[in-house]
């Protein structure tokens, strides 16, 4: 993949007392071309999924596999995150000199500019514009990964106008500025909530299934609406091109990849990074971890009378590092117009999940195994809008992007426990 392989036979006797077999050869990989340099704008990159995606983008293995060295510019208003996550990213990624914030707290970076941060709210168009203008003389951005937005399902029912304003407004600003500055490649962080209540709750959800009709919360509707905006926007450029409205065809087509997540869980295996929600966690696994570490008395299971083997709801849980790698796979997929499997210039939609469902009891028991003791739990009434089974068919992501989940339930729980024990109160 972009490398010439040269086999070099040599002795290692200078480094070891062990005799070197005469037939020992070492395989060395020499790049036939220097790694391409690409700068990615990551909105909401200080958050749970965003920060782990930064680790995948900055991973030397990503450079060796793709012959692309990514640099990232993170914009985040820190409303539900901490810039401490960026320090951890720099540490894990072995960035020389680490990451340092400016004295006024409005930005920061490592000495080589691989990881840059600007404290910006994407709803603030002038502030976001300033970031685009700052980096325009350096070649601008090759692509954007868009995480920024509000994401609490329950809260979205209480303050719907805020969710529409923030999630859709931020996307509107971002797309306008990307178009203005010639950055026409975006990965959008969507959600499985766009499927709503499936007609067959026990069937795995496919990208071709109906979306938008039976969504049960405002958060999911904002994700659905943004998907529609991206589709309309992508389609409009095809129409302009057909009508001659975009010149002679020299302008780059828009590449859009929508990733529908199921249930991210776990943490970086080092225990240095993980999910650090403000207040009461909205998701099951960080709540379970906080019970395990003693911050909360017990987990409440919302209903045990579902049509499942143990009566509790079943979901598709995905390790956050697998999910992070899915974003790198999406960027690669859109980047190569010569590949038979290419998303370049296309509107692409993929589910990211494992295809395996686990019940609430399964997850609590698995976490108890990782912790080494049972997790206290009680049963409460069902929550309105909860469905019985929600599991992905992620085969299209494997077929097209070559992505599939590699980590299992044990990995999710052990890595989450490592994060929680090392950081019992989250980031400082």
15: burial class by Cβ within 10 Å (0-12, 13-18, 19+)? exposed
Q: How far apart are the first and last CA of the chain?
A: 41
Structure tokens at 25: 């050869």
Query: What is the number of helices (H) and of strands (E) in the chain?
Result: 13, 17
Cα distance between residue 331 and residue 69, in whole Å: 12
CB-CB contact of 138 with 71 (8 Å): no
CB-CB contact of 353 with 265 (8 Å): no
* Set 219, 306, 317, 333: catalytic member: 219
Closest C-alpha to 360, from 404, 325, 309: 309
CA torsion 13-14-15-16 (nearest 10°) is 40
Cα distance between residue 77 and residue 173, in whole Å: 15
CB atoms within 10 A of CB 307: 10
Cα distance between residue 31 and residue 64, in whole Å: 9
Cα distance between residue 173 and residue 325, in whole Å: 26
Structure tokens at 247: 């010149």
CB-CB contact of 413 with 368 (8 Å): no
Eight-state DSSP code of residue 215: -
Cα distance between residue 302 and residue 291, in whole Å: 16
346-356 core/surface letters (b: 16 or more CB in 10 A; e: else): ebbbbbbbbbe
CB-CB contact of 211 with 196 (8 Å): yes
Cα distance between residue 87 and residue 94, in whole Å: 11
Closest C-alpha to 56, from 92, 87, 82: 92
Residue 358 a catalytic site member? no
Closest C-alpha to 214, from 190, 198, 230, 232: 198
Cα distance between residue 349 and residue 227, in whole Å: 9
CB atoms within 10 A of CB 280: 11
- Residues with catalytic function: 219
């Amino acid at each position: 993949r972009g490398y010439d392989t040269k086999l070099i036979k040599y002795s290692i006797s200078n480094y070891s007392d062990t005799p070197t077999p005469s037939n020992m050869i070492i395989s060395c990989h020499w790049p036939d071309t220097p790694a391409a340099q690409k700068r990615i704008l990551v909105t909401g990159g200080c958050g749970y999924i965003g920060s782990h995606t930064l680790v995948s983008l900055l991973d030397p293995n990503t450079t060796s596999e793709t012959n692309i060295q990514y640099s990232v510019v993170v914009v985040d208003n820190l409303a539900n995150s901490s810039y401490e996550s960026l320090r951890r990213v720099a540490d894990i990624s072995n960035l020389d000199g680490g990451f340092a914030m400016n004295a006024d707290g409005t930005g920061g970076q490592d000495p080589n500019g691989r990881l840059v941060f600007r404290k910006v709210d994407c709803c603030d168009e002038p502030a976001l514009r300033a970031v685009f203008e700052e980096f325009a003389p350096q070649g601008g951005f090759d692509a954007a990964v868009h995480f920024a937005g509000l994401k609490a399902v329950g809260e979205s029912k209480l303050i719907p106008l805020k969710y529409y304003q923030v999630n859709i407004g931020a996307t509107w600003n971002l797309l306008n500025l990307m178009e203005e500055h010639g950055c026409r490649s975006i990965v959008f962080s969507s959600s499985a909530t766009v499927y709503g209540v499936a007609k067959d709750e026990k069937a795995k959800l496919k990208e071709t299934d109906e979306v938008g009709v039976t969504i049960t919360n405002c958060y999911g509707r904002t994700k659905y609406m943004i998907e529609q905006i991206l589709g309309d926007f992508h389609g409009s450029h095809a129409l302009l091109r057909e009508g001659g409205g975009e010149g002679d065809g020299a302008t780059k087509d828009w590449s859009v990849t929508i990733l529908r997540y199921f249930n991210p869980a776990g943490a970086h295996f080092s225990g240095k990074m993980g999910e650090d929600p403000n207040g009461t966690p909205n998701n099951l696994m960080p709540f379970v971890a906080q019970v395990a570490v003693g911050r909360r008395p017990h987990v409440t299971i919302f209903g045990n009378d579902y049509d499942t083997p143990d009566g509790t709801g079943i979901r598709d849980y995905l390790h956050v590092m697998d999910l992070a790698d899915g974003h790198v796979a999406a960027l690669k997929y859109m980047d190569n117009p010569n590949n038979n499997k290419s998303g370049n210039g296309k509107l692409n939609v993929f589910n990211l999940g494992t295809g395996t469902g686990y019940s609430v009891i399964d997850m609590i028991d698995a976490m108890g195994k990782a912790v080494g003791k049972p997790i206290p739990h009680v049963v409460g009434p069902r929550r309105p809008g909860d469905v019985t089974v929600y599991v992905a068919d992620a085969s299209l992501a494997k077929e097209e992007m070559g992505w599939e989940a590699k980590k299992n339930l044990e990995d999710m729980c052990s890595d989450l426990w490592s994060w929680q024990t090392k950081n019992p109160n989250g980031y400082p």
